[in-house]
């Protein structure tokens, strides 16, 4: 019985309906609990559905919109000119209660500004944050935030990121999430004012399992479950990990695909290792959540393919089931009570 509705911005991302419509169809077959609202150009969506031989039905609705927010649009401008865009209508569907979550691969800044304006922030949160679970060396995960929603933030925001990240991670972990701040050294004297002030606040908060600073080389090494940083650092750092992983994967791939005997042996012996290594690239995952809102908004990579988009839709479903916004709200209330009394 389908009982979770996800609004999909069918025009967002680099490929629009060409990728988003097939992803919606695949997600519907993968998640029996899912209903989808495809928001975007009705003709383009219908044409895609027809080419897949998949008619609109009780689990797939189309909501027409004839405008798209471009990737180069400033968030402030996007906010003013958003009326009638696919992204705006997808968020509206959540705001009106027609959908439980929305997924968009469009302009991140615009998605944040619109979500904040239409869904409102949870009480006690000043800025939403973009979070994603990254694969670690041991096959586990680390939740990193902010990944680029806030190019600059203050210690209060960083502190709130820690609480939100912890509340999210504890939905997935059997233990209290170990929360760390990303810094340029492990010693107390290291870092800028931002991390030092946030460290002081977290040290005084007993309901958060704060373990101190970690350095960039520990990010994917299971040193922490939740890693907080400002959005500039988080975005650059995550992409640096992805870029490095991609270089290794490309070098290995060229060995594995060589048309020599060596390449042939390599394919027999190491295809599985290669596939395991591919999964270590954070880029393999898709679906970063905008946390801190009174609703669920998932940001997909602009360049996501069908499988990656299905992952992002899966993330939306998980968060609906786990009622992530209200978990964060509860956790935040507890921390604020602890800090003020």
Name the residues that contact a copy of itself, by CB under 8 A: 71-72, 74, 109, 137, 148, 151-152, 182-184, 187-189, 191-193, 215-221, 229, 231-233, 235-248, 250-252, 255, 262, 265-266, 269-270, 273, 276-277, 280, 283
Paired strand residues for 63? 39
Task: Give the number of other CB atoms < 10 A from CB of residue 302.
Answer: 15
Task: Give the number of other CB atoms < 10 A from CB of residue 292.
Answer: 31
Helix, strand or coil for residue 54? coil
Measured at the CA of 91, the angle between CA 88 and CA 151, to 5 degrees, comes to 80
- Measured from the CB atom, the residue of 117 and 248 that comes closer to a copy of itself is 248
- Measured from the CB atom, the residue of 60 and 110 that comes closer to a copy of itself is 110
- Measured from the CB atom, the residue of 125 and 245 that comes closer to a copy of itself is 245
Minimum Å distance from CB 337 to a copy of itself? 33
Minimum Å distance from CB 91 to a copy of itself? 21
Could you tell me the two tokens for 156?
């209060």
- Measured from the CB atom, the residue of 29 and 246 that comes closer to a copy of itself is 246
- Residue 88 Cα to chain centre, angstroms: 18
Minimum Å distance from CB 248 to a copy of itself? 4
- Measured from the CB atom, the residue of 84 and 185 that comes closer to a copy of itself is 185
Minimum Å distance from CB 72 to a copy of itself? 5
296-299: strand order across its sheet:
60-64, 34-40, 4-9, 101-104, 296-299, 288-291, 129-135, 141-145, 226-228, 179-182, 210-214
Minimum Å distance from CB 92 to a copy of itself? 25
**Residue partners of 243: CB distance under 8 A and separation at least 6:** none
């Amino acid at each position: 019985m389908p009982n979770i509705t996800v609004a999909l911005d069918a025009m967002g991302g680099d490929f629009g309906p060409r990728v988003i419509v097939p992803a919606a169809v695949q997600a519907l077959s993968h998640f029996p609990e899912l209903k989808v609202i495809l928001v975007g150009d009705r003709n383009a969506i219908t044409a895609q559905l027809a080419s897949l031989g998949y008619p609109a039905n009780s689990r797939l609705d189309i909501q027409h919109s004839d405008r798209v927010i471009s990737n180069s649009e400033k968030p402030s401008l996007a906010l003013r000119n958003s009326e009638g865009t696919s992204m705006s209508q997808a968020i509206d569907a959540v705001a009106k209660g027609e959908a439980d979550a929305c997924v968009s691969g469009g302009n991140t800044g615009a998605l944040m500004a619109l979500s904040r304006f239409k869904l409102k922030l949870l009480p006690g949160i000043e800025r939403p944050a973009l979070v994603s679970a990254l694969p670690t060396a041991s096959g586990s995960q680390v939740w990193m935030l902010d990944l680029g929603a806030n190019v600059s933030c203050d210690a209060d925001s960083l502190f709130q990121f820690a609480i939100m990240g912890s509340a999210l991670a504890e939905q997935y972990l059997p233990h209290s999430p170990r929360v760390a701040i990303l810094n340029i050294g492990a010693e107390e004297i290291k870092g800028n004012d931002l991390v030092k002030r946030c460290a002081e606040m977290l040290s005084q908060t007993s309901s958060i399992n704060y373990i101190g600073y970690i350095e960039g080389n520990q990010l994917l090494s299971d040193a922490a479950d939740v890693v907080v940083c400002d959005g500039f650092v988080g975005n650059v750092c995550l992409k640096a990990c992805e870029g490095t992983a991609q270089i290794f994967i490309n070098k290995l791939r060229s060995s594995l695909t060589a048309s020599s005997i060596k390449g042939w042996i390599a394919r027999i012996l190491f295809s599985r290792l290669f596939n395991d290594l591919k999964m270590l690239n954070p880029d393999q995952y898709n679906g970063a959540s905008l946390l801190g809102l009174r609703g669920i908004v998932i940001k997909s990579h602009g360049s996501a393919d069908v499988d990656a988009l299905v992952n992002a839709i899966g993330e939306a479903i998980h968060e609906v089931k786990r009622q992530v916004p209200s978990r964060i709200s509860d956790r935040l209330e507890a921390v604020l009570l602890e800090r003020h009394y």
